[in-house]
Chain A
Amino acid sequence: MHSTGYTIVFVLIMTSVVALLLAGMYTVLKPIHDVNEKNFNRKEVLKAVGSVFEATDGKSVESLSDTEVEEIFSSRIQQYAVNTNGDIIEGVVAEDIDMAKERKKPESEQKLPFYIYDGGAEGTYYIVTVRGNGLWDEIWGNVALRADFKTIAGVAFDHKGETPGLGAEIKDNSAFPRAFVGKTIYSETGVFRGIDIVKGGVKNADYEIDVISGATVTAEGVEEMMDRGIEYYENTFEDIKSDGKLDGKVANKATGMK
Chain B
Amino acid sequence: MAETSLETQAAEKPAVVEKEPLFGKKERRLLTDPLDDNNPITVQVLGICSALAVTTLVIPSVVISVAVVFVCAFANLIISVLRNRIPNQVRMIVQLVVIATLVTVVELVLKALDYGVYKQLSVFIGLIITNCIVMGRLEAFAMANKPWKAFLDGIGNGLGYGLILILVSVFREVFGKGSFAGFKIIGASPEYLIDTASISWLGWYSNNNLMVLPAAAMFLIGIFIWIQRARNPKLVDIS
Contacts and interface: CB of A to CB of B under 8 A. Distances in A.
A13 to B, nearest CB: 10
Interface stretch (B44-52, B82-90, B132-140, B144-152): B82-90
A52 B172 CA distance: 34
Nearest to B207: A165
B212 interface: yes
Size range of the interface on A? 20 to 34
A36 B177 CA distance: 29
B119 interface: yes
The interface size bin for chain B is 20 to 34
A10 B85 contact: yes
B209 interface: yes
Interface of B, helix, strand, loop or mixed by DSSP: helix
B212 A36 contact: no
A7 B108 contact: no
A175 B189 contact: yes
B11 interface: no
Contact of A18 (B87, B90, B101, B123): B101
Contacts of A214: 209
A164 interface: yes
A18 B56 contact: no
A166 B212 contact: yes
Contact of A161 (B86, B88, B123, B209): B123
A26 B86 contact: no
A163 B89 CA distance: 41
A36 B94 contact: no
Interface string B83-111: 00111111001100100010011001101
Contact of A7 (B57, B87, B116): B87
A255 interface: no
Interface string A8-20: 0011001100100
30 contacts: A2-B88, A7-B89, A7-B90, A10-B87, A11-B90, A11-B93, A14-B97, A15-B97, A22-B101, A22-B104, A29-B109, A32-B112, A36-B115, A37-B115, A39-B115, A40-B115, A40-B116, A161-B123, A164-B56, A164-B57, A164-B212, A165-B176, A165-B212, A165-B213, A166-B209, A166-B212, A172-B177, A175-B189, A213-B209, A214-B209
Given A18-B101, A33-B112, A40-B119, 15 more contacts: A11-B90, A22-B101, A25-B108, A33-B111, A36-B112, A40-B116, A163-B212, A164-B57, A164-B177, A165-B177, A165-B211, A165-B212, A172-B177, A213-B209, A214-B209
